[in-house]
Amino acid sequence: MKRFPSELRRWRTARRMSQLDLALRAGTTQRHVSFLEQGRSRPGRSIVLRLAESMELTLRERNELLLGAGFAPAFPESPFDDEMLRPVRQALDTILDGHLPYPAIVVRPYGILVAANRAFDVFNEGVDPALLAPPANMFRHALHPNGLAPRVRNLPEWGRHITEHLRALLVRSPDPALEELLAELEGYLPPMPADADVLGFAVPLQLASADGDLRLITTITSFATAADVTLAELQLEAFLPADDRTADVLRRRWG
């Protein structure tokens, strides 16, 4: 209970919500929210969950808020190799194989590789094996000078789609480990060209390969309705060709 008032105030502030905004979303009163943040009222389990959902906390963060209020976690966190997640692993394998001949991976926070299809090997050409050793971090893999970075033709612009994504995540969910990773990754990026007018969000990855330059765009999918922390934190990142030549190269190699 001692941690709950400060944690509630911290998350509300991070979400840039007033006490009234939060109260309206959670179906309570501003006075009640104020008393909770002052430690003058003891929260019930249901109001903790409503407040957490109203602030759009992740399942892990909701569990932590419950623990701070003295309640048991509401959402299980199963090991990825747990028998209960076997159907999920099979589904992910099907999705990864179904995306061939184009590269796709599954990662967990923050960029730790869980699984990849055969076509993802296009990103491993020339990469230091140390960067591929488990637990391999795909953000570091992408931007480290011994990783993919030397083959990225538009590294200043494209690299910032990674760092800006992490920066936005850090604003929503402050974490010293993520802050440290972001600082490391930003140290790998060269300065932006003076004439650059984008940060990389709408710029395809321009990648040198043994078969010539490739141009790829990225899509990210998450399990939005998951009720297990492990599953909710997984993301599927799929790469698609941005031109016919790239599609032809990938089909020849993995079609």
pLDDT average, residue stretch 11-16: 93
Q: What is the pLDDT of residues 17-28, one digit of tens each?
A: 999 999 999 999
- Residue 160, in any domain of the structure: yes
* Averaged confidence pLDDT in the chain: 93
Does residue 191 form part of some domain?
A: yes
| pLDDT per position as a tens digit, 115-149 | 999 999 999 999 999 999 999 999 999 999 999 99
* Domain-embedded: residue 73: no
Residues 175 and 54 in one domain: no
The helix (H) or strand (E) run that includes residue 158 is helix 155-172
Judge whether 76 lies within some domain.
Answer: no
Are residues 140 and 54 part of one domain? no
Domain count, the chain: 2
Any idea what the CATH number is for the domain that residue 172 is in? 3.30.450
Looking at the structure, tell me whether residues 61 and 118 fall in a common domain: no
Does the residue 211 lie in any domain?
yes
Q: Has residue 13 been placed in a domain? A: yes
Q: What is the pLDDT of residue 193?
A: 75
Quick one: pLDDT at residue 78? 93
Asked whether the predicted pLDDT for residue 2 surpasses 70, the reply is no
- The CATH number assigned to the domain holding 40 equals 1.10.260.40
Whether the predicted pLDDT of 90 surpasses 80: yes
Residue 201 clears pLDDT 60, i.e. is over it: no
Determine the distance from the C-alpha atom of residue 193 to the mean position of all C-alpha atoms in its chain, rounded to a whole number. 27
100 and 170 housed in the same domain:
yes
In a domain, 143, yes or no: yes
Task: Quote the CA–CA distance of 48 and 72 in Å, as a whole number.
Answer: 12
Q: Is residue 58 domain-shared with residue 181, that is, in the same domain? A: no
Domain holding 88, by residue range, is 83-254
Report whether the peptide linkage leading into residue 87 is cis, meaning its omega lies within 30 degrees of zero.
no
Written as six digits, the tokens of 250 are 């990938």
